Amino acid sequence: MIDAEKIVRDFCAAWGEGKIEKPDPDIIASYFATEGEWHMWVPGQVVRGQKAIHAEVKRQREFSTFMECGIVKLVSAGLTVMTERLDYFTMHGVRVSHALVAVYDLDAEGKIVSWREYFDTADLGKQLGMKPEAVIAG
């Protein structure tokens, strides 16, 4: 039986827990189904497929470091897991924090088929001195 909650906790920890400079794109991408999707922010960009997710993590490593997915609350029903998180990372030399909600749908093999994140880009922009749309672009 798939332990969806453990998979999501492990996936969040794989980003580095704030202890490593950059996450490993191979490890992050391995949590996804071949055709898995990452909705980086809803209703924005969707990254489709393991290869594209790998490339996106690699891209983000160029400007965002020491990432930590701080799970505040986690609930699940079957193969769907929802987290309330307080994440931390360093972007362009500025340490920021932001609250978000993420929804993960897993398949029968325990791979992520859909990951959707909901957060306020204006809050991140304020912390970074950037326009919200610039935050997403990196």
Q: In this predicted structure, what is the pLDDT of residue 43? A: 76
Q: In this predicted structure, what is the pLDDT of residue 15? A: 94
pTM of this prediction?
A: 0.91
Number of compact structural domains in the chain: 1
- Work out the angle at residue 104's Cα, subtended by the Cα atoms of residues 103 and 110, and round it to the nearest 5 degrees: 165
Question: How far, in Å, CA of 116 to CA of 19, rounded?
Answer: 24
Say whether pLDDT at 6 is over 70.
Answer: yes
Say whether pLDDT at 32 is over 70.
Answer: yes
Question: Smallest Cα–Cα separation from 29: which of 49, 4, 9?
Answer: 49
Give the tokens for residue 118: 């909901």
Q: In this predicted structure, what is the pLDDT of residue 138? A: 61
The per-type count for the chain, helices as H runs and strands as E runs, is 5, 6
Query: Which domain range does residue 90 map to?
Result: 4-137
CATH of the domain at 88: 3.10.450.50
- Cα distances (angstroms) measured from residue 46 to each of 71, 95, 116, 126: 23, 26, 9, 24
pLDDT digits (tens, 9 = 90+) for 57-112: 999 888 888 999 999 999 999 999 999 999 999 988 889 999 999 999 999 999 99
Q: In this predicted structure, what is the pLDDT of residue 1? A: 83
